[in-house]
């Protein structure tokens, strides 16, 4: 009977040692998961902040695009109301200067917009 009790005590001690080691292993795993969880939450917050910034930039670009489309429609309306060919034939010097000045203004605006868009990428 004593050998039987010693055997049970030995089995219980071996089982306790096994469970203790398994518990240490699980504690280490849990700590690793907690660190990973903190890192992932930080990454998610960074992505959300970047998304908000991107959405604001997109909204600003859409607003500017609407303004440009309105200006374009106003300019096209001027061409619809006037016979530019007839006017250019009658007064070529006046029309050429106006067209050149307006074209330069448009190209300057395009260059300015391109620079501002390029700076957004940086």
Which of 66-84 are b and which e, b meaning 16 or more Cβ less than 10 Å from the residue's Cβ? eeeeeeeeeeeeeeeeeee
Task: Please tell me the pTM assigned to this model.
Answer: 0.47
**Do the domain assignments include residue 3?**
no
Whether the CB-CB separation of 75 and 68 falls below 8 Å is answered with no
Cα–Cα distance, 16 to 22 (Å, whole number) = 10
Residue 28 sits in the same domain as residue 60: yes
**Do the domain assignments include residue 111?**
yes
Residue 95 sits in the same domain as residue 122: yes
Write out the residue range of the structural domain in which residue 28 sits: 23-66
**Do the domain assignments include residue 4?**
no
Count up the domains in the chain and report the number.
Answer: 2
Cα–Cα distance, 116 to 29 (Å, whole number) = 49
**Do the domain assignments include residue 56?**
yes
Using one digit for the tens of pLDDT, what is the confidence trace for 4-13? 888 888 999 9
Whether the CB-CB separation of 82 and 94 falls below 8 Å is answered with no
**Do the domain assignments include residue 31?**
yes
**Do the domain assignments include residue 37?**
yes
Using one digit for the tens of pLDDT, what is the confidence trace for 38-78? 999 999 999 999 999 999 999 999 999 999 999 999 988 87
Cα–Cα distance, 100 to 94 (Å, whole number) = 10
């Amino acid at each position: 009977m004593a050998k039987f009790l010693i055997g049970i005590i030995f089995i219980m001690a071996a089982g306790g040692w096994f469970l203790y080691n398994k518990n240490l292993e699980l504690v280490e795993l849990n700590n690793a998961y907690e660190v990973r969880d903190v890192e992932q939450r930080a990454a998610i917050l960074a992505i959300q902040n970047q998304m908000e910034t991107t959405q604001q930039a997109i909204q600003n670009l859409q607003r500017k695009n609407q303004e440009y489309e309105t200006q374009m429609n106003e300019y096209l309306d001027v061409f619809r109301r006037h016979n530019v060919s007839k006017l250019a034939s009658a007064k070529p010097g006046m029309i050429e200067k106006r067209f050149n000045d307006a074209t330069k203004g448009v190209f300057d605006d395009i260059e300015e917009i391109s620079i501002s868009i390029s700076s957004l990428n940086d």
